[in-house]
Amino acid sequence: MAKRPLAIGPAGIRTAQLIERLRDERDLSQRALAARLAHLHRPLPHTALSRIERTRRRCDVDDLVAIAEALGVSPMALLQPISSGADRVIARPEAGRRNG
């Protein structure tokens, strides 16, 4: 019997939306974010990022932590409810120091 993949729940959907929102606000393409992830020794192809943002791929904990680092936020910021100030929560000042 084939295993069915687990559906992505509300928290996963919010996280995907926040990843895309923060990436867009930082004027990063998916390729640029993928390059940052490779620099952080967590290579994730831009196609995988696209699937995460479109909720076609689950974002595991290791991916979440690396994506947060690459975006310059705490992993908790990617788990927050979406609001007008969600992108400002738990942001780190070194976010602007990365190449990308």
The yes-or-no verdict on residue 2 having pLDDT over 80 is: no
pLDDT at 44 over 50: yes
Segments making up each domain of the chain, as ranges: 10-87
Average the pLDDT over 30-50 and give the result: 97
Predicted confidence (pLDDT) at residue 90 exceeds the cutoff of 50: no
Helix (H, G, I), strand (E, B) or coil at 11: helix
CATH architecture of 10-87: Orthogonal Bundle (1.10)
Phi, psi of 77 (to 5 degrees): -65, -30
pLDDT higher than 60, residue 84: no
Confidence of residue 100 (pLDDT cuts 50, 70, 90): very low
Q: Report pTM.
A: 0.79
User: What SS3 state is found at 91?
Assistant: strand
Q: Provide φ and ψ at 26, rounded to 5°.
A: -90, 5
**Cα distance between residue 67 and residue 72, in whole Å:** 8
